[in-house]
Amino acid sequence: MSAEGALANRHIVLGLSGGVACYKAADFARELVKAGATVQVVMTEAACQFITPVTMQALSNRPVYTSQWDAREANHMPHINLTRGASAVVVAPASADFIAKLAQGRADDLLSLLCLARPLAGDRGVPLLVAPAMNREMWAHPATQRNVAQIRADGTTVLGPAAGDQACGEIGDGRMLEAEELRDELIAFFQPKALAGRDVLVTAGPTFEAIDPVRGITNHSSGKMGFAIARAAAEAGARVTLVAGPVHLATPRGVRRIDVQSAEQMLAAVLPEARRHEIFVATAAVADWRPASVATQKIKKDAPSQGAGQSAGHVPALSFVENPDILATVAKLPTGERPFCVGFAAESHDIVRHARAKLVRKGVPLIVANNGPATFGRDHNALVLVDAAGERALPPSDKLTLARLLVAEIAQRCPRRASTPATATAASA
Ligand code: C5P
């Protein structure tokens, strides 16, 4: 999904400490600028061994700072000036040595100095995020783990690291996240945590109802709206489970995904999960019917059908049975096991009237109506929220923006279950 404008009006101080991952920081700076942020790069001496300030200046469009003795600042205090008014300081890559410095509050170069000197609290507080990058042995070392625990306890957000191939040839934990992943983590960081610590279950995409081993019935749902809702809920601090029909979409960061094909598989995946989730958002375009029986072998044009209904010459006649209604089934769970249920209604006309009928028929507190043919497969949509109290239109926008608005609406309407811990933190890290 495009990140255009997602960091508009954000000023990011991007710190680089020494590590091969500095090459990814160049891309990260570019992603930040493309997302609308202004970027002030600060590099340690070690970082300058891996990539030049010239490259970072060109990508960020601002002079780079490398020394606390930089005379360009009138008051000679770059360690103070650079963070004042900043939206965040992001250190990527953060080396083991730099994390150790942060843990101890040492301040012997510009980057560690400005991290220590940044305002911590209140409206002027500047959050610190670090993206560790190091060899897996360095990452696993008790000293590093101690230091990471300490900076977390001090309020620093740690992004990653990921596991995988390392520049040294070893494989394991310690890789810095990729530029786009870091960008999305930062975008998520700035979202309000309206669903902090809550469990959200989402269905998305079409279902595929098999006729035989090579054929089946499906629909045009792309899954984009449901995936956007899963992402928005994770950004809002929820633990998210996404039950997805067959779609070609990447799993949003931090989201647990269960892939299914048919409506029956979707129900089987959803039911046990629904009981431990507080919120259920059913966006999947579940097939209303499925073939009454599935042929075990491909139905041949030149042979009678094999179990997919009666054959009329060489043309198989399909007969259908109704699929379970997943949303209505979840909405009938006993109180205490039943999540707050949100349904979608993809209509082509009389959108609100049909949505209101669905509200009653499915027994759910909220139906989100949209124009199905106008939105299937597209990146934009417009929604109307229909509940017992009335209607509220969410104006045309990209699906992620709408998903964030919808998540805020759901958070407002859905009271926290008594047993849910109110103190849990964001799940997107
Ligand atoms: O009336 P309709 O069944 O199309 O209602 C759509 C809503 O119900 C959507 O939220 C969809 O995900 C859900 N649904 C479902 N199981 C079905 C059919 C629809 O969960 N079998």
Note the pLDDT of residue 1.
Answer: 62
Instruction: State if residue 358 touches ligand 1 by the CB under 6 angstroms criterion.
Output: yes
Instruction: State if residue 282 touches ligand 1 by the CB under 6 angstroms criterion.
Output: yes
**Across 198-215, average pLDDT:** 97
Note the pLDDT of residue 380.
Answer: 87
Q: Distance from the CA of 184 to the center of ligand 1, in angstroms?
A: 31
| pLDDT classification of 301: cutoffs 50, 70, 90 | confident
Residues marked active site are found at: 168
pLDDT tens by residue, 253-298? 999 999 999 999 999 999 999 999 999 999 999 999 999 999 999 9
Note the pLDDT of residue 422.
Answer: 42
**Across 60-67, average pLDDT:** 97
Note the pLDDT of residue 310.
Answer: 52
- Domains along the chain with CATH numbers: 11-189 (3.40.50.1950), 199-292+311-413 (3.40.50.10300)
- Report percent pLDDT > 90 for the chain: 82
Tell me: pLDDT of 305 over 70.
no
**Across 163-192, average pLDDT:** 94
Q: Which atom of ligand 1 is nearest to the CA of 345?
A: 6
Note the pLDDT of residue 251.
Answer: 96
Instruction: State if residue 209 touches ligand 1 by the CB under 6 angstroms criterion.
Output: no
Instruction: State if residue 327 touches ligand 1 by the CB under 6 angstroms criterion.
Output: yes
| pLDDT classification of 419: cutoffs 50, 70, 90 | low
pLDDT tens by residue, 81-115? 999 999 999 999 999 999 999 999 999 999 999 99
Note the pLDDT of residue 427.
Answer: 36
- The pTM of this model reads 0.90
**Across 25-43, average pLDDT:** 98
Average pLDDT, whole number, for the chain?
A: 92
User: Range with the lowest mean pLDDT among 202-211, 240-249, 300-309?
Assistant: 300-309
Per-residue H/E/C for the chain = CCCCCCCCCCEEEEEECCCCCHHHHHHHHHHHHHCCCEEEEEECCCHHHHCCHHHHHHHHCCCCECCCCCCCCCCCCHHHHCCCCCCEEEEEEECHHHHHHHHHCCCCCHHHHHHHHCCCCCCCCCCEEEEECCCHHHHHCHHHHHHHHHHHHCCCEECCCEEEECCCCCEEEEECCCHHHHHHHHHHHCCCCCCCCCEEEEEECECCEECCCCCEECCCCCCHHHHHHHHHHHHCCCEEEEEECCCCCCCCCCCEEEECCCHHHHHHHHHHHHCCCCEEEECCECCCEEECCCCCCCCCCCCCCCCCCCEECCEECCCEEECCCHHHHHHCCCCCCCCEEEEEEEECCCHHHHHHHHHHHHCCCEEEEEEHHHHCCCCEEEEEEEECCEEEEEEEEEHHHHHHHHHHHHHHHCCCCCCCCCCCCCCCC
Higher pLDDT, 129 or 313: 129
Q: Distance from the CA of 212 to the center of ligand 1, in angstroms?
A: 24
